[in-house]
Structure 1
Amino acid sequence: MLTPLEIHQKQFRKGAWGYKPEEVEDFLRQVSQAHEELYKENILLKEQVAHTEENLLRYRHLEETLNNTLVLAQRTAEEVRLSAEREAELRVKEARMQAEKILESARAKKSEIEREYEHMRNQARQFRVQFRAMLTSQLEAFKEEARDEAAVTLEATIPPGKIPFLNQDVRLPGGHKPYSGEDVQVPSHFHEDSDD
């Protein structure tokens, strides 16, 4: 591209019937001025374009940075969400396992208490049976002893050669009847059919 100075310094050869030099110089001056204005405007426009391209490049870098930041933020948010879900699932799992352990412990304790209760019931039942047998044995022994004592006492009070009827109302000395053991009552809670 011609510069204004090149246009201004352009020399033309003159012929016999050529153009008038003053008109050519005047025209060249006008062209040079117009071209100079266009040249300056072109330089200014190039600077503006360069500045615009620089800004555009900066904006593109900024856009790329923002996009990368957005992608990173989305990825981070997704990772946080997944981590929170995993943490929540882990806590729920741990809570369920803890609850299951508590239930299992409670079931084991219940079974142990039931076994202990059944053992105590069996011991109580066995004790009642043994105590009832002992009491019955003692009562029988006491009855036998009372009958023996009554017979001895009766023999001592009967005159020689006289035997009273056995079903008569025999009175011991002092007005007491001989102990037969028939009026002895066993407490109801010691009967054979009691399981309590």
Structure 2
Amino acid sequence: MITPLEIRQQKFRNSFRGYDREAVDAFLTALSQEWERQLELKRNLQDELEQLRGRYDTLKEVEDMLHKTLIQAEQSARDTLENARQKADIRIREAELKAREMVQKGVEERNT
């Protein structure tokens, strides 16, 4: 890659009906300044890109962590719901059994 310094230091041969030396020097100066500005812009954009990549990586990690947390919360909710159903089933069975026992006891007391 050509550098701004190489552009500034570029020399051309003199010829009988050559270019205007001052115009060439002015053009090379302007070109080297613009080239330097473009190189600085490129460096700045590369730095910004690197920062954005780092930020993306951080946000991706957060997203992954949130996704895992959501999956765990969903599983925990399913487990809690299943436990509640099982406990409700047990209480219903116990209540039905107790009701049968009470009915049986009532029948026995009436028969005696």
Q: Same fold (TM over 0.5)?
A: yes
In structure 2, relative to structure 1, the CA distance for the partners of 1:18 and 1:78 (3 Å cut) is same
Letter in 2 for 1:4: P
| Corresponding position of 1:57 | 57
**Pair 1:34–1:99, CA change in 2 (3 A):** same
Change (3 A) 1:80 1:30: same
TM-score (norm 1): 0.49
**Structure 1 unaligned spans of 5+:** 115-196
Which secondary structure state, in structure 2, belongs to the residue aligned with residue 15 of structure 1?
coil
Count of aligned residue pairs for this structure pair: 112
SS at match of 1:35: helix
Query: Once the 2 structures are TM-superposed, how far is the Cα of residue 107 of structure 1 from its aligned partner?
Result: 5.0
TM-score by length of 2: 0.79
Shift in CA distance, 95/30, structure 1 to aligned 2, threshold 3 Å: same
Provide the aligned C-alpha RMSD in A. Answer: 2.3
Higher relative contact order (CA 8 A, sep 6+): 2
Q: Match of 1:37?
A: 37
Q: CA deviation at 1:98?
A: 3.1
Aligned-residue sequence identity (percent) comes to 28
**In the alignment, residue 109 of structure 2 is paired with which amino acid?**
K
Which is helix-richer, 1 or 2?
2
Residue number in structure 1 paired with 2:72: 72
Q: Do the aligned partners of residues 3 and 81 (structure 1) sit closer, same or farther apart at CA in structure 2, a change above 3 Å counting?
A: farther
Q: Which residue of structure 2 aligns with residue 15 of structure 1?
A: 15
- Structure 2 stretches lacking a partner, 5+ long: none
**Alignment CA distance shift 1:46-1:84 (3 Å):** same
